[in-house]
Amino acid sequence: MVTSIGIMEEQKIKKWVRVIAIVELMSSMVGMCFHVLIQSGIIQETLNWVVLFDFYFNTAAGLIIFAGLWHPKPWGWRVAVLLIPISYLFVLYDYINDYFAWIGLFYAPFVLLDVFILRFLFKPEVMTFCRVSSRVLSRMRWLPNALLDLAIFFVVSAFGNELIGIGVVVAVFLGFSLAKRYRKKNSKPEDVTTASTGSAIDPASR
């Protein structure tokens, strides 16, 4: 995949990549402040080992992503598109084991933010700017859609239940799949092999 980008577009991409880096840094800082408040007893909360591991993982991931994207490096792009989705495995585990009403509405905005971040990072011009040439990772463009499904599940489950949430996600997934196939089918060029500018000559008429 080779995409040429101009100087103005490069500056624009660099600006937004750094915005993403700052967002990840702020996320780590907020997490650390929250942890300090809990450990100091200002916030009365007991953290199990999963939540603690999630905290350390997200804090380290945010700092690594910040370092890799502030001065855009290929490894910064790679860790971003890998660690952001992985972090939601812990969110799902905590959601399943420590569910309470409306928690999905709390999670959903953060998931949607990461959907936008991943969609931006997977743009061909952004990958070119970050000097990413990995074919394996470039095929993982489905990750933002997977997180979007997760956000839909969280929102629907908050107003209904988990089964309804799963049903809506499956319906949305099938709908997008059918629409994609329909667009792909209609975008195929028409068969012009039989078209000609003149009439064919019948050998028998010679």
- pLDDT above 90 covers a percentage of the chain that reads 35
- The 10s digit of each residue's pLDDT in 108-164 is 999 999 999 999 999 999 999 999 887 888 888 989 988 998 888 888 877 766 666
pTM score of the predicted model: 0.76
Per-residue confidence (pLDDT) for residue 104, from 0 to 100: 80
**Per residue, what are the HEC states of 14-59?**
HHHHHHHHHHHHHHHHHHHHHHHHHHCCCCCCCCCHHHHHHHHHHH
End-to-end Cα spacing for the chain = 54
Q: Are 66 and 74 in contact (CB under 8 A)?
A: no
CB 110, CB 23: distance < 8 Å: no
Question: Per-residue pLDDT for 107 more than 70?
Answer: yes
Max mean pLDDT among 38-47, 52-61, 66-75, 125-134 falls in: 66-75
- With a cut of 60, say whether residue 8 has pLDDT above it: yes
Confidence of residue 169 (pLDDT cuts 50, 70, 90): low
